[in-house]
Amino acid sequence: MSIRIRRAVTADLPAVRFVGVAVWPPTYGAVKGAQYVMGGIDSYWNAEEIGAGIAAGRIDVAEDSGRVIGMTEVDELHDDLVLWKLYVLPSEQGSGVGHALVGSAKERARSHGCDLLTEYDPQNSRAATFYAREGFIATEPPWSGNAAVWLRWRPDVQHRPSGRLWT
């Protein structure tokens, strides 16, 4: 396997959506139920939502031999970046794709001189184990009333740039 991480382009939209549709049922179905899964797919994995993320440069894809096998979506939140989505096709999980995608998100944060936040559902023990292995530590949620577990990764940086992180 030769994993390549790159910024998503418009032509990747169907493949990015395929990743979400393939990953959400086994990830959330048993703990959240089918209605939650279908609502999430409708809300977060529709063409408009994915297209906006691609157009804004927030989505990266992992590919192997030209086939998209995983994706991330990273965006700004206050002075930090947030890894909102990290999904890898079930057949590719455990092969280093997630590690490579997180590495790319960490490099984005490092290059912008900021921390990388992420969150996961407290019932998702696989996410807890994965993010701990990737060096994330528990942090306070950015707003009250949030039931998710929030984590922070801090790069070894000396300064923070001023202004917006995306150019």
- pLDDT of amino acid 44: 96
Per-residue pLDDT tens over the stretch 9-21: 999 999 999 999 9
Q: Which residues of the chain have pLDDT under 50?
A: 157-160, 162-167
DSSP letter, residue 156: -
- Residue 71: count of CB within 10 angstroms of its CB: 29
Q: Which residues pair with 32 in a beta bridge?
A: none
- pLDDT of amino acid 143: 83
| Domain 3-153 indexed as CATH 3.40.1010.10 | no
Residue whose C-alpha is closest to residue 86's, from 78, 95, 97: 97
The whole model's pTM is what?
Answer: 0.89
- pLDDT of amino acid 142: 86
- pLDDT of amino acid 156: 76
